Amino acid sequence: MKIIGTGSYLPQRIMTNHDLEAIVDTSDEWIVKRTGIRERHIASKNESTSDLAYAAAKNALAMAGISPTDIDMLIVATSTPDYPIPAVAPIVASKLGCGQIAAFDINSVCSGFSVAILNAYGMLRTGLYRTVLVIGADTYSRILNWTDRTSCCIFGDGAGAAILQFDGRNNIISHKFGTDGARSNLICIPAGGAKNPIHSLDPNGPNNDLFFQMDGRSVYEFSIDVVPKTIVQLIEDAKIQPSDISAVLLHQANIRIIDAIAKYLDIPRERYLSNVDRVGNTSSASLPILLDEAVRGDKIHKGDKVMVIGFGGGLSWCGYVMEW
């Protein structure tokens, strides 16, 4: 399998930690110390997830040098689609001019892009599809409770994309995808779905349950437990040494999580790529934005073994080692 093009898009508006100080009781110092985040991008009023996804995909198509009509499957990883129904992928396919192709969403929250890549890889290997566009796109600014300082300082909006074709190589040399639904309440929007529909809520209430909620401390503990185990397993299954990994792309949740994970493993710290200081946690978009920056920044070369791991809501974790 070959990635023939990558692209990303960040909305123009930048919100710094100092801007947040005017919204909630927080400080630049607290946010930088606890998360490493300095600024994030926020979608304009006229933009939503399909627009972000479209812009990222256009950049990936330009790099690949192919036409939208060459795409025969489009997968969007997102937990903030434009609407509850329909999926956002057909809307993006239509905006791009891909024609009436196979298009669907995957909601694995922050693991979504890795999950979508594994799905695409399976589709390509079986020969069912030839050119798959995988997009990770999220507009968390629309689901955040901007009075909740424990969550609103962490996220940003954005999108990233990758175009995959099968070149005869079975080059995802190990993978691991797990979930733990027993802890699904740690990251959730409790209302607005079928369990607690919007019309069952108090019309006069604050309705905080319609917004994103997270038990930050427990999510932190989950992350620094599951991700190192996943890394060790991926290396073992690939039958390689930690030093063979050229680049590690972890979901950009928080620099403290990345530092804590890197400390316990034998992969040199500088191989863990990061942009969380500039973009914050962009959920499904986090990994493809980082990947696009790495490709365009000449940080990934042919033959490199690249490790990619997403983790978050579900709870879920999904990673793979790909020979570039």
Ligand X SMILES: CC(C)(COP(=O)(O)OP(=O)(O)OC[C@H]1O[C@@H](n2cnc3c(N)ncnc32)[C@H](O)[C@@H]1OP(=O)(O)O)[C@@H](O)C(=O)NCCC(=O)NCCS
**281 catalytic per annotation:** yes
Burial of 228 (0-12, 13-18, 19+ CB in 10 A): middle
Q: Is 142 in the site for ligand X (CB under 6 A)?
A: no
Q: How far is the CB of 86 from ligand X (least distance, A)?
A: 26
Residue type, 7: G
174 scored as a contact of ligand X (CB under 6 A): no
Is position 251 annotated as part of the catalytic site? yes
- Cis (ω within 30 of 0) for the bond into 86? yes
Cα separation, 168 vs 241, in Å, equals 25
CA 121 to each of CA 131, 161, 234: distance values in angstroms, whole numbers, following the listed order: 10, 15, 17
Binding range to ligand X, per CB under 6 A, among 58-66, 76-84, 131-139, 148-156 = 148-156
Nearest distance, CB of residue 117 and ligand X, angstroms: 17
Per annotation, catalytic residue among 17, 98, 107, 110: 110
Decide: is 312 part of the binding site for ligand X (CB under 6 A). yes
* Residue from 49, 12, 47, 17 nearest 35 by CA: 17
Q: Give CA–CA dist 78/197, Å, rounded.
A: 21
Q: Please confirm, yes or no, whether 199 is among the known catalytic residues.
A: no
- Residue ranges with strand state E in the chain: 2-9, 13-16, 39-42, 73-77, 102-106, 131-139, 157-165, 172-179, 187-188, 213-214, 245-250, 305-312, 316-323
Binding residue for ligand X, selected from 68, 192, 216, 242, defined by CB under 6 A: 216
Least separation, in Å, of the C-beta of 95 and ligand X? Answer: 28
For 37, the 3-state DSSP assignment is coil
CA distance 166 to 233: 25
Kindly identify the residues of this chain, within the stretch 247-286, that bind ligand X according to CB under 6 A: 253-254, 257, 281
Site string for ligand X, 49-88 (x = CB under 6 A): ----------------------------------------
Smallest gap, in angstroms, from Cβ of residue 1 to ligand X? 26
- Shortest Å distance, C-beta 34 to ligand X: 4
> How many C-beta atoms surround the C-beta of residue 194 within 10 A?
6
Give the chain's largest Cα–Cα span: 59
- Interface residue with ligand X among 6, 8, 17, 35 (CB under 6 A) is 35
18 counts as binding ligand X under rule CB under 6 A = no
Q: Is position 220 an interface residue for ligand X (rule: CB under 6 A)? A: yes
Residues contributing to the site for ligand X (CB under 6 A): 26, 30-31, 34-35, 110, 149-150, 153, 214, 216-217, 219-220, 253-254, 257, 281, 312
Positions marked active-site: 110, 251, 281
